[in-house]
Amino acid sequence: MSTTLCLVGGTFDCFHAGHQALLEAALGCDSAEVWVTSDAIAAEKDPRIKPQSERQNDISDWAGDRSLTTHSLEDSWGPAPTRGDATHIVCTPETRENCENINQMRSEGDLPPLEIVEVLHVLAEDGEPISSSRIRQGSINRDGNLWIRKSDLEQVVYLPTSLDSELKEPMGTLFPGPEDTPEVAIRAAVEAIPAFSPCLIAVGDVTVNALLETGWVPDVGFVDGLTKRTAWDGEIDITSFVGHLTCENPAGQLTPDLLQSTDLALEFAFSEEGGPVLLEVEGEEDLAPIMIHLLAPLGTVVLYGQPSAGVVLRVTDESTKARCRTLLDAFEVR
């Protein structure tokens, strides 16, 4: 009996449960070759896509000692139209047409058609397909679990004393600067913002104002009229913002109102008719970064002030989201 070889092509960013199902189908053959899009091609799709070497390593680590190898895909078709030793090709429903086109090219080259193995999508917790784009968008993790749960939209939660010391530590990189000239720390933080960051969010009146005074308008700014829990004597130039929202979030709490308003602010900031949003919190915005990171797309930069120390920069990545989910789960329901 002749051996079978399955070809698979794709970007394989944020290697997830759907990718695993695709490769399990490919491993139904004697061997499988996974052709992973090059960095140049991937960058045209989304500059946040991880380096090709990392994407290939994720696949190899998952496959272990099974008969699967990874290769660099430098064009739209890869080797499938011309490989005489290939017997199968794996696809999802929306890429089946590409496989049929490949078989047409093989026919024109006097090669037998590949057997097309169509694999249905693995669904996330909300019934929608798991995809790398949804993971980068920030709504689900690699297993398809939602970062924001239904209960988060239904109940107020309260900060437990057990988290006091943990939340006093900077959750990110601290850029020190004089308290009376916050622009010093802000300028240093702004210079450290990664290229291709999709969103800049500022939390705190002093932080938002310092950004504006240095010529940066955050996509979303959170203010509560306070600094160190006393009235702030400054004034935000609201003309820099296109949208203006308000919500209620008492001190030491996280409310559905804050969550929903943050979601609306992000949606408006990135809509075609939208722009920068100022979200005014009646109460306190100190705990808002927990909600922000859970909602924000990967690569988002969140800046917030650290009293008497400077400004903290944290990039929203998968580990940030996981930590914020753990923190939120530790809050109390009363």
Report all structural domains of the chain as residue ranges with CATH numbers, in order of start: 5-137 (3.40.50.620), 150-330 (no CATH)
Check residue 231 and give its pLDDT. Answer: 82
**Nearest alpha carbon to residue 249 among 219, 278, 269, 224:** 224
Contacts of 234 (CB under 8 A, 6+ apart): 205, 206, 209
Type of residue at 304: Y
Residue 4, burial from CB neighbour count under 10 angstroms (0-12, 13-18, 19+): middle
Contacts of 166 (CB under 8 A, 6+ apart): 327
Tokens representing 327 are: 């923190």
* pLDDT of 229 above 80: no
Taking residues 264-269, what's their average pLDDT? Answer: 96
In angstroms, the CA 71 to CA 86 distance is 15
* pLDDT of 120 above 70: yes
Tokens representing 101 are: 């086109």
For residue range 274-288, list pLDDT tens digits in order. 999 999 999 999 999
In angstroms, the CA 289 to CA 201 distance is 9
* pLDDT of 170 above 90: no
As a whole-number percent, the residues of the chain with pLDDT over 90 amount to 88
For residue range 21-64, list pLDDT tens digits in order. 999 999 999 999 999 999 999 999 999 999 999 999 999 999 99
* pLDDT of 83 above 90: yes
In angstroms, the CA 6 to CA 30 distance is 8
What mean pLDDT, rounded, does the chain reach? Answer: 95
